[in-house]
A and B are shown apart, each in its own frame.
Chain A
Amino acid sequence: MIQDYIVFVGVNIVLAWSVYVILLAGSLSFANGGFMAIGAYVSGVLTVKFGFPLVIAALISGIAAGLIGVLAGFPALRTRGIYLMLVTVGIAVSVKAVIESIDYVGGIQGFGGMVGTTPWHVVGLVGLVGGGLALLSRSPLQRILDAVREDELSAASLGINPIYVKLTCFGVGAFLAAVAGSFYAHYLIHVSPDQFGIVLSVFIVLYAVLGGTNNMWGPPIGAAIMTLTPEFVRGLEAWRPTAFGVIILCLLLIRPDGLLAFRIATTRTKVVAGSKPKQST
């Protein structure tokens, strides 16, 4: 039981971070459920049919998802705002449709036989990704990402290539989602396409957004709370989705910027607009 919690919370934390990484450069991705599916299936085929070790298979599936993300993202990231979001929705929907139509991986029936994920795999992954993000948040690279998110035109006239930055973030996000998906699949033993519907992608975005996206600690908190809360309101089995929905609404009302919106780079300043007489020196 406790194993279940560790694996599911850990996987969801990495998924939330995979959305956060893409959001760092200003794009909101609803494709990460699709990337997770690519990770689950590619690594599953590699371990079950070709006997690859789990970690290697997970990395390969991550790279595959990253490449697919970059290819699909290249035209998508040239569009902006709402259109970009729609394109990512399209990616998630098509990945599911494609998997359903491939008999080699069981079609709608799903694909089974994946084993080997221990809680340590997941804990290790969370540690690595968290460490990487912590390193990032103190580096000058964080400011480059901030600049692209704030104003692409401004960033470009400082020598930053916004498309490259956004595409890289998209690829890294896809990679993380796929690695999380591999570990998830090898814990569940059997996965089927209907697990990777668009709702999954929406939930992953909610993990990040409800936790707060202006620092790296928000998404894991959001993921942990949203993964564990349904377990504790289990008594009201039939009312679970409703209770869940009410909690989300309350969160959005009380903390519209997410639970952990304390940040840092943008609100770090002690002086707020207008709180001091403005004298030019």
Chain B
Amino acid sequence: MDVYPQSILSVDGLSKSFRGLTALDQISLDVRRGEILGLMGPNGAGKSVFINVITGLYPADYGTVRFLGRDVTRLPSYALARLGIARTYQNIRLLRRMTVLENVLVAIKDHVNRPLRSLFIRNRSRFVRAATTLLEQFHLADKRDWLAGSLAYGEARRLEIARALAGKPSLLLLDEPAAGMNERETEELGDTIRASRKLLQAMVIVEHDVAMMRGLADRLVVMDAGHKIAEGKPGEVLAEPSVIEAYLGTDEADE
């Protein structure tokens, strides 16, 4: 097992239930420096709840979350974001009535951490330049003056990831980034994710798409009904009988 400096995020015995319904049962896992961790499982396995508890949307019932060695279990969303945990949402959440450029600008750390001081920041063009560079990497530069709400689905998804990266996070959590995408869009998304990888220390992807996970993830964790049922290299995990039974079913034979 890895110890502290190697592990960006360290989750220990995390449990969460809603009105007696157990959504997460004693989940423990580590996200290691430099890796993309894939989190898989059938609907209702607790993957999104896991992300939401980690990012402070729901309070954990039991267990601890350590980020870069620091206990962050009880911190609210905004504090976690400032520490360097960024996320995207399953149902894309953009600031729809603001422009593409503004969506990225608003996430820049200098502004967010000291809102009042940002009144007097000089040389604001450097922020616009940084944001434009980021948009170029995500092939959105030509749409920077569009309203975010008018983007196509795939573009909106890319913008959400770009915006998450604008705050220079250490860890990025993607909640079902390929949901609702066609094959070509999913492929493009894979490229986007690979490109963002070098801007981060680690990434966690919650996803259904087996092919995508096989291609992207360094390690996989499989959940079912709030439990962790498997963990390891994608090839090995996807071949485990318990995983096939719980989740993949006959799909695995199709490949």
**Binding partners A and B:** yes
Does residue A158 face the partner (Cβ distance < 8 Å to B)? yes
Asked if A159 and B113 make an inter-chain contact with CB atoms under 8 angstroms apart, the answer reads: yes
Does residue A161 face the partner (Cβ distance < 8 Å to B)? yes
Instruction: Kindly specify which of A51-59, A79-87, A147-155 makes contact with the partner chain.
Output: A147-155
Does residue B230 face the partner (Cβ distance < 8 Å to A)? no
Instruction: Kindly specify which of B14-22, B24-32, B62-70, B86-94 makes contact with the partner chain.
Output: B86-94
Which A residues touch B96, using CB under 8 A?
150-151
Contacts of A134-186 to chain B: CB distance below 8 A? 135-136, 139-141, 143-144, 146-147, 150-151, 153-162, 165
Mark each residue of chain B from 156 to 194: 1 if its CB lies under 8 Å from any CB of chain A, else 0.
000000011001000000000000000001001000000
- Whether A150 contacts B86 in the complex (CB less than 8 A), given A271-B145, A271-B146, comes out as no
A155, A157, A265: most-surrounded residue (chain B CB, <10 A): A157
Contact of A280 among B78, B116, B118, B152 (CB under 8 A): B152
Task: Give Cα A278–Cα B89 distance, bound, in whole angstroms.
Answer: 23
Instruction: Kindly specify which of B99-107, B196-204, B235-243 makes contact with the partner chain.
Output: B99-107
- Whether A159 contacts B154 in the complex (CB less than 8 A), given A143-B98, A154-B93, comes out as no
Does residue A273 face the partner (Cβ distance < 8 Å to B)? yes
Asked if A159 and B112 make an inter-chain contact with CB atoms under 8 angstroms apart, the answer reads: yes
Which B residues touch A242, using CB under 8 A?
none
Closest to A162 in B: B78
Does residue B249 face the partner (Cβ distance < 8 Å to A)? no
Asked if A158 and B106 make an inter-chain contact with CB atoms under 8 angstroms apart, the answer reads: yes
Which B residues touch A146, using CB under 8 A?
95, 98, 102, 106
Mark each residue of chain B from 57 to 91: 1 if its CB lies under 8 Å from any CB of chain A, else 0.
10000000000000000001111011000110100
- Whether A135 contacts B98 in the complex (CB less than 8 A), given A158-B163, A158-B167, A281-B139, comes out as no
Contact of A160 among B78, B94, B99, B127 (CB under 8 A): B78
Does residue B108 face the partner (Cβ distance < 8 Å to A)? yes
Task: Give Cα A210–Cα B119 distance, bound, in whole angstroms.
Answer: 28
What's the nearest-Cβ distance from chain A to residue B189, in Å?
11
Task: Give Cα A140–Cα B101 distance, bound, in whole angstroms.
Answer: 12
How many residues of B are counted as interface, with CB atoms below 8 angstroms from the partner's CB atoms?
A: 53
Asked if B119 and A265 make an inter-chain contact with CB atoms under 8 angstroms apart, the answer reads: no
Task: Give Cα A143–Cα B143 distance, bound, in whole angstroms.
Answer: 19
Contact of B188 among A265, A268, A280 (CB under 8 A): A280
Does residue B149 face the partner (Cβ distance < 8 Å to A)? yes
Does residue B245 face the partner (Cβ distance < 8 Å to A)? no
Task: Give Cα A273–Cα B149 distance, bound, in whole angstroms.
Answer: 8
Which B residues touch A281, using CB under 8 A?
139, 142
Contact of B150 among A139, A144, A274, A280 (CB under 8 A): A274
Contact of A141 among B107, B111, B151, B188 (CB under 8 A): B111
Listed by A's residue number, 22 A-B pairs whose Cβ atoms lie within 8 Å are A139-B118, A140-B106, A140-B124, A140-B127, A141-B116, A143-B105, A144-B106, A150-B95, A154-B95, A156-B76, A158-B106, A158-B163, A159-B107, A160-B106, A161-B79, A265-B102, A268-B99, A268-B145, A271-B150, A272-B147, A280-B152, A281-B142
Residues of B within 8 A of A (CB): 55, 57, 76-79, 81-82, 86-87, 89, 93-99, 102, 105-113, 115-116, 118-121, 124, 127, 139, 142-143, 145-147, 149-152, 154-155, 163-164, 167, 185, 188
Excluding A153-B93, A280-B139, 16 further A-B contacts by CB distance (< 8 Å) are: A136-B119, A140-B118, A141-B118, A144-B106, A144-B111, A146-B98, A154-B93, A155-B106, A157-B78, A157-B86, A159-B82, A159-B109, A160-B106, A266-B147, A271-B143, A273-B150
